[in-house]
Structure 1
Amino acid sequence: MKISADGTRIAYIAPGAGPSTALVIGNLADGSEKPVMRMDGNPFVLRSCGWSGINRLVCRSDAVDRVAGMLVPLSRLVALDADGANVKSLSQRTMAGETLGLNQFDGNVIDWLRGDDDTVLTTRNVVAQQQTGYLIDRGREGMGVVRQDTRTLKITQVEAPLASVAGYISDGLGKVRIRWIERRNSGGKLDGITVVQYRTAASDTWKAFSEISDGKPGMVPLAVDPSLDVAYALQKLDGRDALYRVKLDGSLAAELVHADPAVDVDNIVTIGRGGRVIGVTFVTDKREVIYFDPDYKRLQAGLAKAIPNLPLIDFVSASADEKKLILHAGSDIDPGRYYLYDRTTRQLAELMPVRPELRGLSLAPMQSVSFKAADGTSIPAYLTLPPGKTSMKGLPAIVMPHGGPGSRDEWGFGDVGWFSQFFAQRGFAVLQPQFRGSTGYGDNWMVGNGFRGWRKAIGDVNDGGRWLLSQGVEAGKLAIVGWSYGGYAALQSNVLDPDLFKAVVSVAPVTDLDLMKTTADQYTNSALVARFLGSGALAQEASPARHADAFKAPVLMFHGDKDLNVDINQARAMNQALKAAGKSTSLIVYRELDHYLDDSAIRTDLLTRSDEFLRKSLGL
């Protein structure tokens, strides 16, 4: 949700039927709302919208589509008036027959500027064309930056396109200060080394900031503060990410802002059109925010008292003068509500709940717990019991490993709470282990990653199941459910211990690491994928499709056939291997959907089928 620069209107993206999305404009004066643009999800869906002027917006839409037999990601930028009129594409302009390659991405807004003249700073991916003189630097291709009037489409080049550039950071005042370059080998494939460069305030010359690779973490810039002439960057400290202020005056002198002795700092908190940095955030048992802007520190403390039952408070948007703020507040048992806070009148007004259909439904509290792995390591986890239950004794239970594996779960409803809360509503205890291989706990917790260190990761997942049994869950009522890497873990857990889980639900799973690498060969990140997954005997041992004969539990899988993250052939290979081994298996394929299955009817079908399968398999 975004508030206009003058603080009079809001814009947000709402879900429609199936995979469709709509841009809705709300008038804060009279409370009226109007959908002004829709996308049907075939293939594009709205992802984000912001105000480029008092009456003008820029929206980004994303898609996964088939091009020349390959699945490729696409993005497009359009500008439109607040009433839905004057829709204009912000894509690279071409004439028929000129473009020599596919224009996958229109770019992103990297600076919203003042918000009163319809102009923004955007990255632009320039595709080589046959003639010269039609577009800025037509003879060059790659990512550049333009200042664009979203109403007239007039363009001023800010950064010339360069093929190796992968991104830019502006200072919020229209000056590009940082860029990062992804190195490629002679075959055009990424080699895993990213070079970060910066400029001093008085120069256009690029200087070295850091170099980032697997063996050399380097400083990762997040934002630029022009008032202090610093970049905020993540850098390793004692094996964990910490936040630093790094001077951009040529010295690169770094000052520690915040570090936590147990977890990684994972992001900064920003506010306003220029993305002014006001705090730092990280996750312990719950997400924490430390505000170093005194005004917002006081404001957050006051809001915490005003809405004590919604402790996860985020400032999501501000008017140009920051007098009116949109904030989101939620918890584990509330998906959250949007509020408008007027700093002049000091009034707080609820705008809308995120999931109004859940109003009045008692959701299940999410507890932070821990259990011992086989080697004695304490594994953090989240436990969700059915509403009204205080004990696991006699309950059916689900171990639910998260995706990634470069990820972790968090306390709160968040973006994925619908998945665990559904099963809790259906009477299951749900355990979400933060197994080794999860992010957020420092380098030592990564054990390579969840694939190369699969025995530790999957061992922790299985030990979570054993802990549930020790707490009173009946042996015949224990299942495992996961999505993406979690779907992989749900399958691979049966390779380590075929007798532990009595039913397996796996959504969009990786099942064969060598097949994963073969699929990646047609993309520029193939070498990175191969390095991440491992090879030889490791890849064979880590692939559940190679060990179908070990399975005893019935398996139900779901997969979209336009999944760019994990190819549909992964689930098909697993299903075929299980059938060949005489095992109980079923694969549900959802057509024209990607990795996330963003379709309300399809997600309802997935949940319904999963629940029926688990009840039948566990004898409930």
Structure 2
Amino acid sequence: MRGFSMYVRALSAIAGLLLLAAAPVDLATKFGVRESIESISLSPDGKGIAFVAPNGSAGTALFTVGLEGGEPKLVLATTDAAQSLSNCGWVSDARLVCQVVGTVKYQDYLLDVSRIVGVDRDGRNQKLLSEKTNETQTRLAVFGGNIVDWLPGETDKLLVGRDFIPEARGNTRLEQKLDGYGVVRLDARTGAVTRSENPKRDAEEYISDGQGRIRIMGLRPAAGASGQMGATINYFYRTKTSDEWRPFGALKTGMTANQEGLNPYAVDSTLDAAYAMRKVGGRLTLVRVALDGTLVETPVFAHPQVDIDGVVTLGRARRVIGVTYVTDRRETVYFDPALKALALSLSKALPGKPLVRFAGASRDEQRLLIWAGSDVDPGRYYVFDRATKNLAEIMLARPELEGRALATQTAITYPAADGTLIPAYLMLPPGSTGKNLPAIVLPHGGPSARDEWGFDWLSQYYAARGYAVLQPQFRGSDGYGDAWFRNQGFRKWAVAIGDVNDAGRWLIKQGIADPAKLGIVGWSYGGYAALQSGVVAPDLFKAVVAIAPVADLALLAEQYRGYTSFALARDFIGVGPHLRDGSPARQAALLKSPVLLFHGDVDSNVKPVQSKVMREALAKAGVKHELITYPGLDHYLDDSVVRADLLRRSDAWLRSAMKLPAD
């Protein structure tokens, strides 16, 4: 596979090189360009790969190529951010299915829309596999379905979760009356379907055993007569030999990670058991639950400091091979001894001792698709042949950064004002002394999320421009258990924002940051944290950059009105004085530092009105500010040219406020 390796590595650079050729090759362009491989999968016979790559600035393209050589084939493509290809996978050696996703405006709403399409590996026989819409349907068909089971033992067949929408044709013999979420067996070549699970109005989730049988179902009853989404999911299971649904357990959750109860993730047909998360001592642990009618629960793994955050699966059958969690770095505990040994040996053998992930497998698992990366390596893909022990590097995630010295990411802790030690990641510019530097505090989004050790294009860009970057895992971050989470993000915003501000003070105290050259940058909740930090500590940060930020908490809850999740959102954000005191748009007069805002105008996660309201408040308060709006882009601004523009403008804004040279 040596010749193939060199050829496809060259191919993976094409999108980046074409983009770089369209503009000056500055650092913003190199770091802002999207990854050359957005997703990748190995064919069942192990002889080919399919990968989604950028198509121009904002589009996506699906390619296939044989591992033994041959010309890569363009199979599907979108041209802009209105539609993107995702979750592309092989349904047989000759055919693939993909989801096409996008955000559309409908009246006063922004709706996330998806469809499933099928296509042969040579680009022929393209077919819409989602149910066709018509004017008689009683609600909008925004959800095009999801893959529940890849049916590895069958050719061109899938189990697909589908939204059944009643029709009002006026002719009861012709109209479709079924209503709710169900499962169909789908022929990915012809589009023919047969019903596998009858739809239920409150159904939310189906989990198969990877062999074509649905074993677990989750129902979320509405909250009373209002029709609002309830906060409890009731799970049911069936045994191998019966179709009868039996109670499995209840999961109490809302729009946060603060869940209670039993949350099933996967079914192991060999063990006739489900892997599920259960909270023990305030932290999520992994348990195995027998599905033979006894529901005997066996502890599998728990970590004393952090939550377990998922099971690891392999191949189209989604065979459970381990459990994963994050301390300073992501760790995986493998149940499969051979894969455990292979992952360990690869991590030791590959340069820089990177993280290693099994990204795919052939039907017989003799060929494995492997990803490896680290803080200073954006990632590269390999194919490993277990019979010959041959490891072939095939693609780079970011070829335009190959050979460039990147900033190392170091896990540290710093004390909050109350003495609590806050975990964080520190990056220093390559080759710097680490002292008296311009610096940035970069809080993450969420708030129920966290940063991880590894390459990050945003922080690496700022480090390359000479800034020290500190990423705090403030109280309210996910993954550290209940005591750390405790509804801090919005309801108790002062604790989270206090931790963020203390990150800046620590940088100054350590002599890393020049007090006159300290800024704050954040995206989503991180943008909120950046703005609110400027409110609480107006003299600490000399410049504020907020990307897709929340600016008004009451307005955030209000954006869900008209959706069934409105009650959950209101409960998550809360009511009371914190809606005023914790909203930077209502406290803009306290800000002293210049504020730069960015927002996509079809952001359904944090609506663009948040930045507009913040702009109006800043103008009224006489605070220097600017709002940059990107047409046609959602929350993630997944456009290489736009991301480069964001990096370039934000750097210039910070340098101007800190009185740094432009270059």
Q: Distance in 2 between matches of 1:70 and 1:310?
A: 47
**Cα distance in structure 2, aligned partners of 1:444 and 1:308:** 38
Task: Find the partner of 1:439 among 462, 470, 478.
Answer: 478
In structure 2, the residue matched to 1:349 is: 392
Letter in 1 for 2:469: V
Counterpart of 2:102, as a letter, is A
**Is 137-146 or 100-109 further displaced after alignment?**
137-146
Q: Which deviations, in whole Å up to 9, do the C-alpha atoms of 1:304-325 show, x marking residues without a partner?
A: 2331424210001111111111
Match of residue 83, structure 1, among 110, 116, 122: 122
Question: How many Å separate the matches in 2 of 1:216 and 1:210?
Answer: 13
Would you say the 8 A contact 2:370–2:383 is kept in 1? yes
Q: Whole-Å Cα distance in 2 between the matches of residues 603 and 97 of structure 1?
A: 39
Distance 2:66 2:165 in 1: 40
User: Residues 11 and 151 of structure 1: is their aligned pair in 2 closer, same or farther, counting only changes over 3 Å?
Assistant: same
Between 483-492 and 514-523, the greater mean CA deviation after superposition: 514-523
Question: Shift of residue 383 of structure 1?
Answer: 0.3
Q: Is the 8 A contact 1:53 1:115 kept in 2?
A: no
Q: Provide the C-alpha distance between the structure 2 equivalents of 1:92 and 1:234, rounded to a whole number of angstroms.
A: 34
2:594 to 554, 575, 579: 554
1:279 and 1:309 map into 2 onto residues whose CA distance is 24
Taking the aligned partners of 1:385 and 1:32, their CA distance within structure 2 comes to 42
Matched, 1:384 2:427: yes
1:174-253 map, 5 Å: 174-185=212-223, 186-214=225-253, 217-253=260-296
2:346 alignment partner, SS class:
helix
SS in 2 for 1:336: strand
Q: Could you tell me which residue of structure 1 aligns to residue 518 of structure 2?
A: 478
Displacement of 1:99 in angstroms is 2.1
**Is the CA contact (8 Å cut-off) linking 1:310 and 1:334 kept in structure 2?**
no
User: In structure 2, what is the equivalent of residue 542 of structure 1?
Assistant: 582
Q: Distance in 2 between matches of 1:497 and 1:197?
A: 50
> Given residue 181 of structure 2, which amino acid in structure 1 is its aligned partner?
M
Find out whether 1:617 has 2:657 as its counterpart: yes
Instruction: Give the CA deviation at 1:191.
Output: 2.4
CA distance in 2, matches of 1:471, 1:565: 37
Paired letter, 2:382: Y
1:578-617 to structure 2, matched below 5 A, reads: 578-617=618-657
SS at match of 2:260: coil
Deviations 1:450-493 (A, max 9, x none): 11121110000000000000111111100000000000000001
SS of residue matched to 2:483: helix
Worse-superposed segment, 451-460 or 295-304: 295-304
Query: What amino acid does structure 1 have at the position aligned with 2:210?
Result: G
Q: Does 1:407 align with 2:454?
A: no
Q: What CA distance in whole angstroms lies between the structure 2 residues aligned with 1:290 and 1:191?
A: 34
Between the aligned partners of 2:375 and 2:164, the Cα distance in structure 1 is 44
Alpha-carbon distance, 1:41 to partner: 2.9
In the alignment, the residues of structure 1 paired with residue 80 and residue 166 of structure 2 have an alpha-carbon distance, to the nearest angstrom, of: 29
Q: Say which SS state the counterpart of residue 464 (structure 1) adopts.
A: helix
Deviation string 1:598-620 (CA, Å, 9 cap, x unpaired) is 11111011000000000001000
Does the CA contact (< 8 Å) of 2:81 and 2:633 recur in 1? no
Output the amino acid matched with 1:47. S
Whether the aligned pair in 2 keeps the contact of 1:511 and 1:571 (CA below 8 Å) is yes
The amino acid that maps onto 1:4 is: S
- Map of 1:3 onto structure 2: 42
For residue 231 of structure 2, give the secondary structure of its aligned residue in structure 1.
Answer: strand
Q: 1:261-276 to 2 correspondence within 5 Å? A: 261-276=304-319
Tell me, yes or no, if structure 1 residue 123 matches structure 2 residue 161.
yes
What number of residue pairs does the alignment pair up? 614
Q: CA RMSD in A?
A: 1.5
Question: Within the alignment, does 1:463 sit opposite 2:502 as a pair?
Answer: yes
1:156 to 183, 191, 194: 194
Task: Determine helix, strand or coil for the equivalent of 2:230.
Answer: strand
Alpha-carbon distance, 1:92 to partner: 1.1
Greater mean deviation of Cα atoms: 156-165 or 602-611: 156-165
Task: Tell me which residue corresponds to 1:290.
Answer: 333
Moved more, 445-454 or 457-466: 445-454
| More RCO (CA 8 Å, sep 6+) | 2
Instruction: Render the CA deviation track for 1:49-75: whole Å, top value 9, x for unaligned.
Output: 001111000001111101233111111
Which one is further off, 248-257 or 503-512?
Answer: 248-257
Alignment partner, residue 562 of structure 2 = 522
Does the aligned pair in 1 maintain the 2:158–2:186 contact within 8 Å? Answer: yes
Matched, 1:490 2:533: no
Q: How does 1:326-341 map to 2 (within 5 A)?
A: 326-341=369-384
- Residue 656 of structure 2 aligns to a residue in which SS? helix
- Find the aligned partners of 2:433 and 2:378 in 1 and give their Cα distance: 22
Match of 1:108 among 112, 122, 146: 146
| Aligned residue identity for 2:103 | V
Q: Distance in 2 between matches of 1:48 and 1:555?
A: 37
Secondary structure at the counterpart of residue 98 of structure 2: strand
Counterpart code for 1:192: A
Structure 1 residues 527-583: Cα deviation after superposition (integer angstroms, max 9, x where no partner): 111111111212111111110110011000000110101011111111100110111
Asked if the contact 2:488–2:495 (Cα under 8 Å) also holds between the matched residues in 1, the reply is no
Once the 2 structures are TM-superposed, how far is the Cα of residue 110 of structure 1 from its aligned partner?
1.3
Letter paired with 2:571 = R
Structure 1 distance, partners of 2:579, 2:251, is 26
The Cα offsets for residues 289-315 of structure 1, whole Å up to 9 and x where unpaired, read as 111111211221222233142421000
- In the alignment, is the contact (CA less than 8 A) between 2:75 and 2:119 conserved in 1? no
State the alpha-carbon separation in 1 of the partners of residues 51 and 188 from structure 2.
19
Q: What residue in structure 2 maps to residue 165 of structure 1?
A: 203
Letter in 2 for 1:171: D
Contact 1:5 1:115 in 2 (8 A): no
Q: Is the 8 A contact 2:116 2:128 kept in 1?
A: yes
Of the structure 1 ranges 295-304 and 540-549, higher mean CA displacement relative to structure 2 is found in 295-304
Q: Is the 8 A contact 1:52 1:115 kept in 2?
A: no
Change (3 A) 1:273 1:216: closer
Q: Is the 8 A contact 1:54 1:116 kept in 2?
A: no
Residues 400, 431 of structure 1: 8 Å contact kept: yes
TM-aligned CA distance change 1:154 to 1:406, over 3 Å: same
The aligned counterpart of 1:398 is: 440
* 1:346 to partner: Cα distance: 1.0
TM-score (norm 2): 0.91
Task: Tell me whether 425-434 or 9-18 shows the greater mean CA deviation.
Answer: 9-18
Deviates more, 1:141-150 or 1:209-218: 209-218
Alignment equivalent of 2:347, drawn from 276, 295, 304: 304
C-alpha separation between the residues in 2 aligned to 1:115 and 1:431? 49
- What's the CA shift for 1:211? 1.4
SS of structure 2 residue aligned to 1:520: coil
For 1:127, give the aligned amino acid.
I
CA 1:390 to 1:268, structure 2 compared with 1: closer, same or farther past 3 Å? farther
Matched, 1:99 2:141: no
Kindly state the Cα deviation for residue 93 of structure 1 after the two structures are TM-superposed: 3.5
Amino acid at match of 2:573: L
Partner of 1:362: 405
Match of 1:72 in 2: 111
> How far did residue 31 of structure 1 move?
5.4
Dislocated runs of 4+, deviation >6 Å: 132-135
Structure 1, unaligned stretches of length 5 or more?
none
Pairing partner for 1:325 from 344, 364, 368: 368
**Counterpart of 2:240 in 1: which secondary structure?**
coil
Output one character per residue of 1:210-239: Cα deviation in whole Å (capped at 9) or x when no partner: 212248611111100011011000101111
Q: Tell whether the 8 Å contact from 1:481 to 1:490 is kept in structure 2 after alignment.
A: yes
Match of 2:4 in 1: none
